[in-house]
Each structure stands twice: as structure tokens, then as C-alpha cells.
Structure 1
Amino acid sequence: MLRCRDGSLYTGWSTDVERRLASHRTGNASKYTASRLPVELVYVAPLAHAAAARREEARIKSLDRAAKLALIASARRSPRWEDGT
């Protein structure tokens, strides 16, 4: 999940998070984030399969903003969270 300049949250999935983040940061990944640069990676959920990633993306997109912020906060408290990459 990305936090955009305007504070909005963007949710997506990728097989290569670093590549996708770089694309977002240059404005080449989506129209939504291109108009809201810069973006910051605030949540990552490593999953084994693309199908699981798509399901998790849909689940997160169905959450309200407060639940998304709680998810981000809980991940940041996790020892697995490094610097968001």
C-alpha cells in the first residue's frame, strides 16, 4: 500500500515490489499515483501466489480508511517491518 502526497492510500499487488514502487515514483505505474507524487510505501504483505495477492488486494480495498490505517500501524509494530521495502 502506498501513501500519496495528498494522504490518500493506493492498494495494489506486484510480483516485484521494488520495481513497481520505482514505477510509481516516476509516474509510470498508474494515473492515480502519477498525479499524487511523491508516494511512500507504507504496507507490504508478502504472499506466495499471485492469486493470494489479488485476494488480499481486494480485501484491503474493501476496508474503510480507519481499518487501512490500523493495518499499516500494526505492520509497523511488527519485527518483520524494516523500512517499508
Structure 2
Amino acid sequence: MNAALDKAWFVYLVRAANGALYCGISDDPQRRFAQHQAGKGARFFHTSPAQALAYVEACSGKGEALRRERAIKRLPKRAKEALIAAGDAPSFA
């Protein structure tokens, strides 16, 4: 079986210094957050640096993570804040 098919994927929210929320997917959210903090990978953080990994949700695969990312991106900010409030803080942050 292909290891790439078995790999866990995550959808995550990062809070920028200005309070904005960025939604993305990764197979390693902690590494990706470190990249965001270093100013690499997303232009979103060029104007306001990445401040906190606010939310992480495990998905069964990359396809599910992409679908979940699209759904979360469509939510208003108050609904994203509710997700963060209801979810556990990332266990590895």
C-alpha cells in the first residue's frame, strides 16, 4: 500500500498578529506553523506575522483536509472563532 495514501492530514487555523485567521492544510501543522512564523509559504503573513496555531483538526486524508479547508474558509469569522473556542488547543504547540 502507498504510504502517501495512509498519511494523516490536518486542517489548521493560524492567528495573525492583527487578529485575522488563516486556514490551511498540512501533513505536519507544527512544521507549517514554523514556516508561517518565518515568513515562508503564505503571502497572507507578509502584512501581519503568524502569532499562534489556534486550531488543528485531523482528517483521514488529503482530500478530506481540502474539503474541510474549503468549508472552514466559507465560514464567517465568528464561526471560526467558535470552532477555536470549542476545539482543544493543539497538543503539540
Q: Provide the TM-score with structure 2 as the length reference.
A: 0.79
CA distance in 1: counterparts of 2:56 and 2:90, whole angstroms: 10
Which 10-residue stretch deviates more, 27-36 or 3-12? Answer: 27-36
Aligned length: 81
Superposition map of 1:43-54 within 5 A? 43-54=55-66
* Equivalent position of 2:53 in the other structure: 41
Segments ≥4 residues shifted beyond 4 Å:
none
CA offset at residue 34 of structure 1?
A: 2.8
CA distance in 1: counterparts of 2:30 and 2:66, whole angstroms: 18
Higher strand proportion: 2
Cα RMSD (Å): 1.5
Gap regions ≥5 residues in structure 1: none
* Equivalent position of 1:19 in the other structure: 31
CA contact (8 A) 1:44 1:84 kept: no
Task: Give the share of equivalent positions with the same residue, in percent.
Answer: 33
Gap regions ≥5 residues in structure 2: 1-12
Instruction: Tell me the alpha carbon deviations over residues 47-84 of structure 1, each in whole angstroms, 9 at most, x when there is no partner.
Output: 120000000100000100111110100003xxxx4556
Larger Rg: 2
